[in-house]
Amino acid sequence: MEKEVVFIRVEIFDDKFSIGHILLGFLAYFHISFFIIFLFYELIEFCYKYGRKEETPAHFIGDLCEFFIGYSLFSLLFHS
23 within some domain? yes
67 within some domain? yes
| Residue 80 banded pLDDT, cuts 50, 70, 90 | low
58 within some domain? yes
Say how many domains are in the chain.
1
Strand boundaries in 6-58, DSSP class E: none
Q: State pLDDT tens for residues 40-70.
A: 999 999 999 999 999 999 999 999 999 999 9
32 within some domain? yes
- Full domain range(s) for residue 72: 19-78
Is the pLDDT at 2 greater than 90, yes or no?
A: no
- Cα dihedral across residues 47, 53, 58, 62: positive or negative: negative
Q: State pLDDT tens for residues 6-40.
A: 898 998 998 899 999 999 999 999 999 999 999 99
Nearest Cα residue to 66 out of 19, 33, 16: 19
